[in-house]
Amino acid sequence: MEYWSLFVDLLKTASAQVPGGMGTVLGITGTIFGSVTTYFLDKYFFKSFRYLNKQIKELTSLAHDVTLKKEAAELKLKRLNAAMKTDDIWSRKGGRKPNQYVQKRSAAIPITIIANLKGGVSKSTIAANLVAYFSKQGERVLAIDLDSQGSMSTLLLGRSPVDSDASKTEQLFRPDTTGDKILQVAVDAGHGLANVKLIPTYRAFDAFENKLMLKWLIGDIDSQTSRPIDARYFLSQALHDPIIRNNFDRIIIDAPPRMAAGFVGALCASTSLLIPTVLDKLSAKAVGHILNKIKYMEDAAIFPHIKLIGIIGTQSTNLSSKPQRILQVEQDLEALLRSHGEPSSLYLKDAFIPEMADIAAAAGSDEIAYLTYSKTQPYFAALGQIIKQRTN
């Protein structure tokens, strides 16, 4: 009340001194009061209102984003559940082949995948020695190791691979992979194989393959290309690049003994297949398993027909006088080939890789038997000649 009395007295004094009296003073006072009121409203009330309105809009946008992310997560979960119910997760629809995939594959240089879904069949040993054989024949060879054990890498480098080698293999399985990228990451092989380039790998590639498979299962989208991440064809995109034809005459791929991203990518890229197997019943059944898998994917149009070079026996001794158990396994393999519409002659009865101390000694010292022990050369040379005849 004291402030109000002072205010009234101030108005009376002003009205006595200002022309127009109280009316003029009240007008001026009203103007001042309005300005002050507007100032305080704008500074406190309207500013708070604008801030509150901004927060409401941000929360509304956030709620919308959360809804979209929830819907996207539910869709990915739905795709994952659907994929897990299929016989072969790599054969589901929804992927996208590279442009002119079939034509480029047909025009590619020979790309041979050496594969078996059973380990311990001398797959990596054969791959490394074939690389050496073709190199000595004057061919420019690209060797690709997709088995995270790194056995072929060890043999061709003459040293044990390291985790950083796996990052080179990973470069082959990206949406933007090209032939140029392969030339950048390939390393020189050891043992004086001047015309051999190697894409080495090691254990870290395992985790990378798992991530690729998960992205494929949930239908993840590549942020750069806005296209589905279809890891099945990344390797094809690179190996079918004309720059690869200009720099190499042949590609040898050592596949992992499991149906992972690397194996499937190699199947989609390759033009021919060699299956090593130990000559026993258990291993023979594994050959049937890989043939069934490949036929299933061919029938699903994941890739065109892969030319089967043959099935080659390994780790057997005294095959000049074969015991009955080996003869039975050979008959089983020939019958298996006929059941898949292939000639029984694709079991390479006369070209086998025996169990030899020299081959074991070379592998144990990070050497290549074909280059180190002359007694082993006829076996790998015979196999190499068959491959060259059936792929050129």
So where are the chain's domains? 24-76, 107-391
**Cβ atoms of 196 and 131 closer than 8 Å:** yes
pLDDT, tens digit, 9 for 90 and up, residues 5-23: 544 455 455 555 545 555 5
The neighbouring-strand residues paired with 141 are: 196, 250
Q: Do β-strands 307-316 and 272-278 pair in parallel, antiparallel, or remain unpaired?
A: parallel
Give the pair of three-digit tokens for residue 181.
């990228």
What was the pLDDT predicted at 76? 57
| DSSP-assigned beta bridge partners for residue 145 | 254
DSSP states of 134-184: HHHTT--EEEEE--TT-HHHHHHHTS---HHHHHHHHTTSSTT--HHHHHH
Query: How much is the average pLDDT of 137-144?
Result: 97
pLDDT at 4 (0 to 100): 47
Domain covering 107-391: architecture? 3-Layer(aba) Sandwich (3.40)
Kind of pairing, strands 196-199 and 187-188? antiparallel
Higher pLDDT, 183 or 59: 183
pLDDT at 66: 64
The residue-averaged pLDDT of 192-218 equals 88
Mean pLDDT, rounded, for 314-328: 77
By the 8 A CB rule, do 105 and 236 touch? yes
pLDDT the model gives residue 349? 86
Weakest mean pLDDT among 22-26, 324-328, 339-343:
22-26
Q: Which residues pair with 224 in a beta bridge?
A: none
Mean pLDDT of 95-120: 92
pLDDT digits (tens, 9 = 90+) for 223-236: 665 666 788 999 99
> Parallel, antiparallel, or unpaired for β 272-278 and 353-354?
unpaired
b/e per residue 24-48 (b: at least 16 CB within 10 A): ebeeeeeeeeeeeeeeeeeeeeeee
Q: Which residue has the higher pLDDT, 103 or 319?
A: 103
Distance in angstroms between the alpha carbons of the first and the last residue of the chain: 109
How high is the pLDDT of residue 43?
Answer: 55
Are 199 and 206 in contact by the 8 Å Cβ rule? The answer is no
Q: How many degrees, rounded to 5, is the angle at CA 194 between CA 191 and CA 196?
A: 90
290 vs 53: which has the higher pLDDT? 290
DSSP code string of 294-354: HHHHHHTTSSPPPEEEEEEEEEE--GGG--HHHHHHHHHHHHHHHHTT--GGGB-TT--EE
% of the chain at pLDDT higher than 90: 47
Instruction: Give mean pLDDT, residues 194-201.
Output: 94
Give residue 362's pLDDT band: very low, low, confident or very high (50, 70, 90).
Answer: confident
Q: Does residue 25 surpass a pLDDT of 50?
A: no
Q: Report the pLDDT value the prediction gives residue 28, as an integer from 0 to 100.
A: 52
What confidence tier does 354 reach under pLDDT thresholds 50, 70, 90? Answer: confident
pLDDT of residue 89: 76
Mean pLDDT calculated for residue range 318-328: 77
> Binning pLDDT at 50, 70 and 90, where does residue 319 land?
low
Q: What is the mean pLDDT of residues 78-98?
A: 67
Other Cβ atoms less than 10 A from the Cβ of 49: the count is: 11
- pLDDT of 94 above 50: yes
The answer to whether residues 297 and 263 touch, using CB atoms and an 8 Å cutoff, is: no
**In the predicted structure, residue 72 carries a pLDDT above the cut 80:** no
Tell me what pLDDT residue 17 has. 55
- Report pLDDT digits (tens) over 274-289: 999 999 988 989 999 9
Is pLDDT at 265 greater than 60 in this prediction?
A: yes
Q: What is the mean pLDDT of the chain?
A: 82
